[in-house]
Amino acid sequence: AQSVTQLGSHVSVSEGALVLLRCNYSSSVPPYLFWYVQYPNQGLQLLLKYTTGATLVKGINGFEAEFKKSETSFHLTKPSAHMSDAAEYFCAVSVVSNTDKLIFGTGTRLQVFP
């Protein structure tokens, strides 16, 4: 069975600093991998996804993630944090499709300090 582990339930950075949110997955078949963001009192929103092809995936709001099969990782990065990036971020995996049977990690809350 597939699973996702997010390292660090809370991450704090200064505005302008590098954002790095860690995600490791477990899957016996090639996975679909996702990062979702959840702002307070809002639904989850897709940031980016990996299906096949290029391992460096660019998403919205300047975020990107790299699929590393050898490390079973899909870490999320952004070169320069903005105050508006403060939110909860979820990594997810599926072995079925972009929308079905998603298994989510426990989330990482990102705080951005001025």
Partner 1 sequence: EAGVAQSPRYKIIEKRQSVAFWCNPISGHATLYWYQQILGQGPKLLIQFQNNGVVDDSQLPKDRFSAERLKGVDSTLKIQPAKLEDSAVYLCASSLGEKLFFGSGTQLSVL
**Residue numbers of the site for partner 1 (CB under 8 A)?**
4, 9, 41-46, 90, 92, 97-107
Supply the minimum distance, in Å, between the C-beta of residue 4 and partner 1: 8
Nearer to partner 1, 84 or 106 (CB): 106
Place of tokens 């903005």: 82
Residue among 43 and 53 whose Cβ is closer to partner 1: 43
| CA–CA separation, 4 and 73 (whole Å) | 9
Nearest-CA neighbor of 85 among 18, 9, 24, 23?
18
Residue 61: helix, strand or coil by DSSP? Answer: helix
Q: How far is the CB of 40 from partner 1 (least distance, A)?
A: 10
In the complex, minimum distance from the CB of residue 41 to partner 1, in angstroms, rounded to a whole number: 6
End-to-end CA distance of the chain: 41
Query: Looking at beta carbons only, is 38 or 72 nearer to partner 1?
Result: 38
